[in-house]
A and B are shown apart, each in its own frame.
Chain A
């Protein structure tokens, strides 16, 4: 009962619904006014069980630690040892995920190439094809073979150090992308063989195959075109990791890239990003189990992506059985996206630094997710590349520090026994014991 007459009677405190929150109500009003769902970039923003819910145990008596800054902790990784004549050898097990020219500006792609190369790792093309700048500045470049086949050509295929057949993406498994027409410059339109100014709807499935048997033959074709020289990765969105990894391996993948729901995207439906797929943490153990059941764990390498931010995340993914991780959103932040220095301009766009995700509109104040020449010129690719290199080095140092503390002289020697979980959910997903116990949900008694 409300005290409408202000007669001193205690009044009911207005309470907002936990279901109909301010953001939910605002979205209902926006949808009603425009007739279109919210399209945005980035990955899932909702809280889901994550690497933060795991802790390393470190060493005491039962384990013997290595001296930080003194004893060697190796970081090198080789990807694509199964069939390729020329596997990809990286100094660190952290790669840069596929992000397209078109979604990102030319200077941003150049910065990613510069930073990755300086840190001894690879970068990846995206929907839209390979640009000359990207190839020139990337010592190891993975060429994505995407459902849209925008800009796909055999000359670029042969220039790649690896081919990544993209079947799905963590932010939108089963879904395609959408770059709105206003972001389509002449160059982007030309690369995608579409008229300038129309919406770019990336396909959700490969047009010329319909299942794992076709995928196997498609991989054969790609190998024949490239002379069996470079590894073929298969990238899947995290939904049914056990079966998808097993089928990717059966189809002939050298490397499986598994992208959890915190993985980013250039542009797709918010409802999709937040409601489809599995948390990255939940993807790893089923994927590793599939590889182990096939007797191919470590022979077919596993790259995990989706929400990797720190060296601890890197170390945890590796401890759970991954061979490497891949970063996208974190790399964008490292080169300057959502930087508070542009706060005034983010405010003008109706958002704030740290929350800007309308990358498809092409008005990114940081000059990264745009094709506007004036905005793109704000990003110095040399300086941004240096920042990315520094960040990759920090991630590596952090992971090494943890590995040494757990007594390991190589990041790949991290193992599930180095971990415990803070929550029941994380314990169940990662199959590591709840902290202080030797139990996790679903553990079979031996």
Chain B
């Protein structure tokens, strides 16, 4: 296990060391000490590393991750796992705004709650939130799955495209063009796998599914009032 103290050794050295593993992964297990809300921790990784952040992270922790498993033992600031491509980011505490924004792949797990805009513009990432999520989550979500074991705030899935949303608790309101959909066996299978990978003991059959009504995929003046 490699230990890196952010307080004494600085952000650039950490990311440079982690990113250097892409060429030849010499060390696969890393522990980051004293993060103290620093921004851009463990960004741009592209190797099968295990990185544990011992404490709270600031903005964009695990940004654009590829392959690596990043675990935050604390809360995460805005944009955790922003534009992730593959791998896994786990936040053991709460996450701030736009968690998993624009992510193309991989798995983001938030064991606490997530704030507003969780999964905004998601493009293929899977996100599992053990707690609640805030308003405007999955806005313009294009692909992937957002699983919420708690409640969802206002305007869930506004202007959603092909992303799949699963919520166990209440939904304060659905956004434009987002509707509840039938939970079919393939969705239960998908959800079962996601919950297992996210270390959640929630039961798939307790969830309801939401997705796009696909009424706004092509402009029609008769739908103008919905914009």
Residues of A within 8 A of B (CB): 34-36, 148-149, 152-155, 157-158, 180-181, 193-195, 197-199, 201, 203, 207-210, 214, 217-218, 220-221, 224-228
Contacts and interface: CB of A to CB of B under 8 A. Distances in A.
A158 to B, nearest CB: 8
Interface stretch (B26-34, B118-126, B182-190): B118-126
Contacts of B46: 154-155
B178 to A, nearest CB: 16
Contacts of B217: 181, 195, 198-199
A105 B79 CA distance: 33
A74 B45 CA distance: 42
Most chain B beta-carbon neighbours within 10 Å: one of A154, A194, A203: A154
A148 B161 CA distance: 13
Interface string B101-132: 11010000000000001001101100000000
Nearest to B83: A152
Contact of A218 (B60, B104, B140): B60
A135 B219 CA distance: 34
Interface string B60-81: 1001101000000000001100
Contact of A217 (B16, B39, B117, B218): B39
Nearest to B46: A154
B197 interface: no
A203 B39 contact: no
Tell me what chain B mostly uses at the interface: helix, strand, loop, or mixed.
loop
A226 B12 CA distance: 11
Nearest to A147: B121
A149 B102 contact: yes
A155 B217 CA distance: 30
Given A207-B98, A224-B44, A149 B83 contact: yes
Given A207-B120, A221-B59, A193 B44 contact: no
B179 interface: no
Given A217-B40, A217-B60, A224-B12, 12 more contacts: A36-B219, A36-B221, A152-B83, A154-B66, A154-B85, A193-B123, A194-B162, A197-B218, A207-B98, A207-B121, A207-B139, A224-B44
Contact of B162 (A36, A195, A197, A227): A195
Interface residues of B, number: 44
A208 B104 CA distance: 14
Interface string B12-44: 100110010000000000000000000110011
Contact of A35 (B19, B140, B218, B224): B224
B11 to A, nearest CB: 7
Contacts of B16: 227
Contacts of B19: 227
Please provide the 10 A-B residue pairs with the shortest distance between their CB atoms, ordered closest to farther: A35-B221, A225-B44, A208-B101, A198-B217, A208-B98, A149-B102, A154-B64, A193-B123, A207-B120, A221-B60
Contact of B121 (A36, A149, A158, A195): A149
A221 B98 CA distance: 15
Contacts of B15: 224-225, 227
Contact of B40 (A158, A180, A201, A220): A220
A208 B102 contact: yes
A152 B43 CA distance: 15
Most chain B beta-carbon neighbours within 10 Å: one of A199, A208, A220, A221: A208
A193 to B, nearest CB: 4
B143 interface: yes
A193 B82 contact: no
Interface string B84-108: 0100000000000110011010000
B72 to A, nearest CB: 16
A159 B97 CA distance: 29
A241 B48 CA distance: 45
B121 A203 contact: yes
Nearest to B220: A35
Contacts of B79: 208-209, 218, 221
A181 B221 CA distance: 16
A224 B42 CA distance: 9
Contacts of B59: 214, 217-218, 221
B142 interface: yes
